[in-house]
Structures are given as C-alpha cells and as structure tokens.
Structure 1
Amino acid sequence: MLLLKPFLIYLAAGFAEIAGCFAVWLWLKEGRSAWLLVPGLVSLIIFALLLTRIESDSAGRAYAAYGGIYITASLIWMRVVEGRAPDKWELLGAPICLGGASMILLAPRGS
C-alpha cells in the first residue's frame, strides 16, 4: 500500500503532462486548432499540482522518481491514444525505469 498512493499520483500526473504536451503537438505538428492549448494548459496545471502531492523531503527527489513513471505512462499513451505498439526495447526499458523510480523514492535514508 505504501507504494500504491505515490504510484497512482505519479501516473495521473504523467497522463496530465502528456495530455498537455500532446495538445501542443497536435497544434504545431498536425495543424489542429490553437484552441487545443486551453485544455492543454489546464492539464499542465493539474500535472504540476499533482506532483506537489508526493510525500518527499525534496522536490528534486520527487521529480526524479516521477521520471520512471512518466516514461511508462508515455508508452501507455503511445499505445492507447496514438495506436502504436511499443517495441521490445521500450517494453524492456519501462520496468527498468520503474525500478529506478522506486529506488529513488523509497530508499531508506538516514535522518
């Protein structure tokens, strides 16, 4: 249970960040309406707010641990939203990144 709450927060933050950035991608790379930037900006604000919910004594540590979750969320986004399957290297790399994120966030530290 200790790992579930931060993982869910990080996952939600990851999808919020990706959605916000994807709005910019659609506007600039695919010629979609600039109005997509409005929900994109809201999504990026939600992303930032979610990251502050992580229990950590350092913002940098919370952000570093987030990196592994972000990578995994990006691959899920690529599959679900963009319809492109991750290759074997992405599927191998994601759990390595999750392991690193867990180590950063949960490692025992002296007081």
Structure 2
Amino acid sequence: MTVVRSLVLFVLAALAEIGGAWLVWQGVREQRGLLWAGAGFVALGVYGLVATFQPDATFGRVLAAYGGVFVAGSLVWGMVVDGFRPDRWDVAGAVVCLAGVLIIMYAPRG
C-alpha cells in the first residue's frame, strides 16, 4: 500500500507542478494575463506541499525520483494539452527515467 500511495502522490505532484508551470507559461508567454500566472504560482505551491507527503523521509531521494516522473509527465501533458507528438527517443527517454524512479524509490534497502 505504501508504494501505491507514493505513486499516487507522484502523479498528484506532477499534475500540480506541470500544470502550474503551464499556467505561468500561458500567463506570461501567451499573454493570457496575471490571473493565469497567479493560478500557476498557487499550483506550484501545491506541488511543494504534495511532495512532503511522500512516505520516504529523504528529501533528496524523493526529489531525485520525482525528476523521472516530471520528465514522463511533461511529455504526457504536452500530448494531452498541446497536441505534442513525442518521437521514439522521447518515449525511450521517459521509460529510462521511470525505471530510475522505481530503482531510486522502491529498491530493497537494508
């Protein structure tokens, strides 16, 4: 159950961080205004909070592993929201990153 909880928290963190960054991007780069950017800042704060609920208490490990979730999640976000079409190298890189998540977070330790 701890692994499932951790994976759900990673997905929630990715939605908050990637969504927040996208909102800031829309507000600034696409000139949609301060409301969009402000909503992005709030979402980015939520990301920071969600990360603290990870069962593993090691900040460096959690954030290092989350990096792989961020990479894969960013590609998925781009596909769903912006119509981005990843190529095989994007997909291969995301798979490698997700393998890293599994090793960093869930490898047996003594």
Query: By the TM > 0.5 criterion, same fold?
Result: yes
Distance 1:103 1:40 in 2: 31
**Structural mapping, 1:1-111, within 5 Å:** 1-110=1-110
Letter in 2 for 1:20: G
Provide Cα deviations, 1:25-81, integer angstroms capped at 9, x if missing partner.
Answer: 112221111111221122111111110111113111110111111111101100000
Structure 1: distance between partners of 2:55 and 2:5: 10
The aligned amino acid for 2:57 is D
The alignment partner of 1:12 has SS state of helix
The two structures have a TM-score, normalised by structure 1, of: 0.91
RMSD: 1.3
Residue type at the aligned position of 2:42: V
3-state SS of paired residue (1:81): helix
User: Do the aligned residues in 1 keep the contact of 2:69 with 2:101 (CA within 8 Å)?
Assistant: yes
SS at match of 1:86: coil
**C-alpha contact (below 8 Å) 1:7/1:69 kept by paired residues:** no
In structure 1, the gaps of 5 or more residues are: none
SS in 1 for 2:67: helix
**Which amino acid counterpart does residue 8 of structure 1 have in structure 2?**
V
Instruction: Tell me, in whole angstroms, the C-alpha distance in 1 between the residues paired with 2:35 and 2:59.
Output: 32
Q: TM-score, normalised by structure 2?
A: 0.91
Q: Does the aligned pair in 1 maintain the 2:26–2:37 contact within 8 Å?
A: no
Letter in 2 for 1:77: W
Structure 1 distance, partners of 2:2, 2:34, is 41
User: How many percent of aligned residue pairs carry the same amino acid?
Assistant: 37
